[in-house]
Amino acid sequence: MITHLEADPGLQRWDGGRTLAGGSPFRVLRLSPKGSELVDRWIGGEPVTTGRSLARRLVRAGVMHPRHDRAPFGPEDVTAVIPVHGARPTALLAALEGLRVVLVDDGSSEPIPGAVRHDVKRGPGAARNTGWRAVTTPLVAFLDADTAPQPGWLEPLLEHFADPEVAAAAPRIRSVAGDSALARYESARSPLDLGIQPGPVRPGARISYVPTAALVVRAETLDELGGFDESMRFGEDVDLIWRLVENHQARYEPAAVVEHRPRGSWPALLRQRFGYGSSAGPLGSRHGERVAPVRMSLWSLLTWILVVLGRTRLAALVTGAAAVLLARKLDRVGAPVSASLKLAVRGNLGAAGLLLETAGRAWAPLVVPPLLATRRGRRALALVAARHLLDWRRTRPPLDPLRYALAAIADDLAYGCGVLRGALREGDRAALLPVLTDLGGRSSVPVGERE
């Protein structure tokens, strides 16, 4: 049950508050006068006592975030499941004092005392399955052996289970700070760190997955899903979450923090990134276009193809036509023309960023060789590389810009090579193909929704 709501920082309101815009994926919702009044009161701090269906809808859309007065569960209702290999995680166990724990020794050469044991190494998915099936509490907290939960990490996650629709809640996973260049890079660009903004977890959203390096899940939901797919060496956590959100809700809660040790060397980091990329092929065969490397409007894609071809005037005309069509659609729900123009411009700029990122990451093994062969292609690659310098300027990580950019380029290439390898091995192209909206006259922005 949702008790309070907080507006997402990106929420926009037009037409006296009756039109809401925001969320992830971005959408526009039209409210009745009563619905608008309720949103005003919720933003002002009033609890949710009426209009619960509207409240759930706004939470699912990501335009507002739930806050609960109390958690229905306590630490006594949670069992931590920790896969281990090689050594007992003494520091982690000390941090979990007072919590029930199931250790799963995944084929260590020397048995780990007190752990459920696999005689041979079967992988993280199998180890977690063995662990949660031994749990008798209603909640399971998956934790990797090299994590360090920070004080107060569990309570913000437990609060989300006040909503019976929520089956999983994930904390923010930060890389442990260190003095080495590798540790400083990981602290700024860890793939496990999903940022400071809370939100719903689902494919295509800003938070499209959460890792099981730290994740709390209802035991009954794990039983319903059959747990992890043990055939997957990487990406088994993404697969679990995507199956879970088909019928349940999952939340990302950065108020809860768990730290994670970075890789021990640059080669180890690149092997890890290659492995992460290789999961895209198996995920594509299981989940189709959910694993697409980029989603964007057909209009935006056409605009930037024309820019690359040097047809800037025609690109400007396409952008203008898209803005006019968007303005007509949004006018029906009370959005001002100025807002439509801003959305069109922002959408095209965002699409440019997505294309640059995808070209330098998921598509890198395919696009870098041909682009290197032409002058215009080399200019495009310079822009792909320059985005890391812009990212450094925006975030100011504790690493000099050149080393940061070189590390990010190597990181992206390793991931892209993994994506290609996984797609070829799986025989599935979903991990390489874009998903385009606005096809067949449909809008990527739902309009005319009412409450």
Output the CA–CA distances (angstroms, integers) from residue 431 to 279, 341, 367, in the order listed: 9, 32, 15
Q: Tens digit of pLDDT for each residue in 247-278?
A: 999 999 999 999 999 888 999 999 999 999 99
| pLDDT reported for residue 39 | 95
Q: Which residues contact 215 (CB under 8 A, 6 or more apart)?
A: 141, 142, 168, 169, 170, 237
Kindly state the average pLDDT of the residues 155-159: 96
Pairing of strands 199-200, 147-149: unpaired
Mean pLDDT on 86-95:
93
User: 1 falls in which pLDDT band (50, 70, 90)?
Assistant: low
Are the beta carbons of 262 and 178 closer than 8 angstroms? yes
Delimit the CATH 3.90.550.10 region(s) of the chain.
75-262
Look up the CATH superfamily of 75-262: Spore Coat Polysaccharide Biosynthesis Protein SpsA; Chain A (3.90.550.10)
CA-to-CA separations, 373 to 19, 82, 87, 307, 381, in angstroms, rounded? 49, 49, 50, 19, 11
Q: What is the pLDDT of residue 438?
A: 66
Which pLDDT belongs to residue 447?
A: 34
Residues ≥6 apart with Cβ < 8 Å to 353? 387
CA distance 136 to 355: 47
Is residue 178 pLDDT above 60, yes or no?
Answer: yes
pLDDT of residue 69: 85
- pLDDT grade, residue 337 (50/70/90)? confident
In the predicted model, what is the mean pLDDT of the chain? 91
**For 92-109, what is the mean pLDDT?**
94
- Evaluate if residue 437 carries a pLDDT over 90: no
Integer CA distances (angstroms), 349 to 40, 267, 377, in order: 31, 34, 20
Q: Sign of torsion, CA 30 294 240 259? A: negative
Give the integer Cα–Cα distance in Å for 191 and 172.
Answer: 11
| Residue 391 clears pLDDT 70, i.e. is over it | yes
Is the Cα torsion angle 401, 407, 409, 411 positive or negative in sign?
A: negative
**Residue 377 pLDDT grade (very low, low, confident, very high; cuts 50, 70, 90):** confident
The CA radius of gyration of the chain, in Å to the nearest whole number, is 23
Report the pLDDT value the prediction gives residue 349, as an integer from 0 to 100.
Answer: 86
Under DSSP, the state recorded for 446 is -
Two structure tokens written together for 5:
């709501």
d(CA 419, CA 79): 34
Q: What is the pLDDT of residue 448?
A: 34
Q: What is the mean pLDDT of residues 151-167?
A: 96
Angle between helix 298-308 and helix 337-360 axes, rounded to 10 deg: 60
Please tell me the distance from the alpha carbon of residue 62 to that of residue 20, in angstroms, as a whole number: 11
For residue 451, pLDDT over 80 is answered with: no
Query: Of 32-41, 296-305, 430-439, which one has max mean pLDDT?
Result: 32-41
| Interval 213-222: pLDDT, tens | 999 999 999 9
Task: Classify residue 49 as exposed, middle or buried by CB count within 10 Å of its CB (0-12, 13-18, 19+).
Answer: exposed
Q: What is the mean pLDDT of residues 200-208?
A: 93
Is the bond leading into 25 cis (omega within 30 degrees of zero)?
A: yes
Please check whether residue 169 is in contact with residue 71, taking contact to mean a CB–CB distance below 8 angstroms: no
CB 51 within 8 A of CB 13: no
pLDDT category at 173 given cuts 50, 70, 90 is: very high
pLDDT in tens, 349-359: 888 889 999 99
**Banded pLDDT at 431 (limits 50, 70, 90):** very high
Terminal-residue alpha carbon distance, the chain:
19
Mean pLDDT within 169-178 = 93
